[in-house]
Amino acid sequence: MIKSLLKTVAIIVIASVSLGARAQLVVDITSGIDDPTPIAVSPFSWSGGGVLKEDVSGIISADLRRSGLFSPVPKEDMLSFPKTPEDVVFRDWRILGTEYIVTGRIEPQASGYLLTFDLVNVFGQHKMFTKQVRGGQTQLRDIAHRAADEIFEAITGIRGAFSTEMVYVHEESRGGKPSYVLMRSDIDGARAKQLRRFSAPVMSPMWSPNGQELAYVSFETGRPAIFRENLRTGERKQLTNFKGINSSPTWSPDGTKLAMVLSKDGNPEIYVLDLASGKFTRMTRHFSIDTEPNWMPDGKSLVFTSDRGGKPQIYQLTLATGQVDRLTFDGDYNARPRVSPDGKTLVMVHRNRGTFTIATMDINSGRMRVLTETTLDESPSIAPNGAMLMYATKRGDKGILAAVSLDAGVKYNLPSQRGDVREPAWSPYFD
């Protein structure tokens, strides 16, 4: 950990795209693994007219760098810009220590672009693959992210998540009054756009498993209420309007149910709403605070926060039997659990020597590990490939987003250019 802190801080700025985007987030990488794989993404050729709106090979380099597992060779250091595997002079790249080279060609299509790209292994002196990605006029960034996913998976064996997105809450002052905006952006912070603006707080955004809907809590009615919003149509439905707290909606893995917290019985209890029938089932019965439910990947149990033991700790509720088991025992504040896609790791907010950090716990062994060194960390949200998580933290008095790998090796920040950002929710895969 200390060693990675001492490493040189590499800063890479992703140019903001001016598509009427607001509050663009900017990536700065604070630490990567000790021996990232050197890779060169040679600038792609473009056979159409004019200049492309996006630097596709540059976006791929930035994606790979952000993963922390790669150190892309800067364009200035390249001795040549091969466009095909046949152009590659292996000796030149071996001198630089480059292990992989990506070459590519972009061609215009009737209504968009076609990227053909190749991954070349320098030391083995062989081509690993040639692939194609097609996209529409506005999809150059999507094409780049998709290519990065393919390259990442071919080398690491882990599915890439560069094509995923996130939603988050952005708060800024407008004419002296706070304004709360639900934002949606690429996972690198680019192409941020406003989904909906509120004059009352909005919180707890969660993606449906198919990535087509969101559930969130809005205070627009004067009380917290749970809403469901279709991202394609913009259609919105208020799901709850009970007295007291209506909070923490989370979709079941099959998308048919929503677990949530209602305090209509006098104190916060976990409920499950069956979306087809509209039927609510109460899952917990305890006078303490029960909140922040999250589903295990098999959909058979929920993890949640409860202070039934005196302090907030994480518990597991088996839905079939109603049995509740305590999972966390280290420290006096463990809350807001999220489960990794393989169901083996718990991610949570953990108070460590007075500061709030993000920690993981191996569910089998109960072994806890603190991932972050920042303070006031909250709202961890895990990537669908389980490699990284996004969370909210503070820099000075400003709310920013940050990311850390689940092995704590890779870290980067995504501060907002203005206002406070918080509550990131990492999308699922869209296919």
Partner 1 sequence: MLKSVKTGLGLACVLAVMAGCSNTNSDKSSGEEYTQPEVDTQVETTVVDESEKMAPLENVVYFDFDESLLKPETRELLIRHADRMRGTPAAVRLEGHADELGTREYNLALGERRANAVRDFLVLQGVDAANLEVISYGEERPAQMGSNEAARAMNRRVVIN
Q: Which residues bind partner 1 (CB under 8 A)?
A: 178, 201, 203-204, 219, 222-224, 244-245, 247-248, 261, 263, 267-268, 289, 291-292, 305, 311-312, 333, 335-336, 349, 351, 356, 376, 378-379, 394, 396-397, 423
Q: Using CA atoms, how far apart are residues 282 and 273, in angstroms rounded to an integer?
A: 9
Would you say 144 or 270 has its CB closer to partner 1? 270
- Output the smallest distance, CB 337 to partner 1, in A: 10
Both tokens assigned to 322: 């109603």
Both tokens assigned to 174: 């407008």
- Output the smallest distance, CB 182 to partner 1, in A: 14
Q: Using CA atoms, how far apart are residues 28 and 402, in angstroms rounded to an integer?
A: 9
- Output the smallest distance, CB 144 to partner 1, in A: 34
Residue with tokens 């917990």: 284
C-beta atoms surrounding 281 within 10 Å: 12
Q: Using CA atoms, how far apart are residues 323 and 53, in angstroms rounded to an integer?
A: 56
Nearest-Å Rg of the Cα atoms of the chain is 23
Would you say 185 or 248 has its CB closer to partner 1? 248
363 near 335, Cβ under 8 Å? no
Both tokens assigned to 304: 């949640």
Would you say 42 or 305 has its CB closer to partner 1? 305
C-beta atoms surrounding 5 within 10 Å: 11
C-beta atoms surrounding 93 within 10 Å: 24
- Output the smallest distance, CB 103 to partner 1, in A: 46
Would you say 32 or 293 has its CB closer to partner 1? 293
428 near 164, Cβ under 8 Å? yes
Q: Using CA atoms, how far apart are residues 107 and 114, in angstroms rounded to an integer?
A: 5
Would you say 150 or 292 has its CB closer to partner 1? 292
Show the DSSP H helices in 217-363 as ranges.
none
Would you say 42 or 374 has its CB closer to partner 1? 374
DSSP states along 25-47: B--EEEE--SSPEEEEEPPPEE-
- Output the smallest distance, CB 395 to partner 1, in A: 10
Would you say 42 or 247 has its CB closer to partner 1? 247
Would you say 221 or 417 has its CB closer to partner 1? 221
- Output the smallest distance, CB 146 to partner 1, in A: 33
- Output the smallest distance, CB 289 to partner 1, in A: 4
CA angle 372, 430, 246 (to 5 degrees): 65
- Output the smallest distance, CB 311 to partner 1, in A: 8
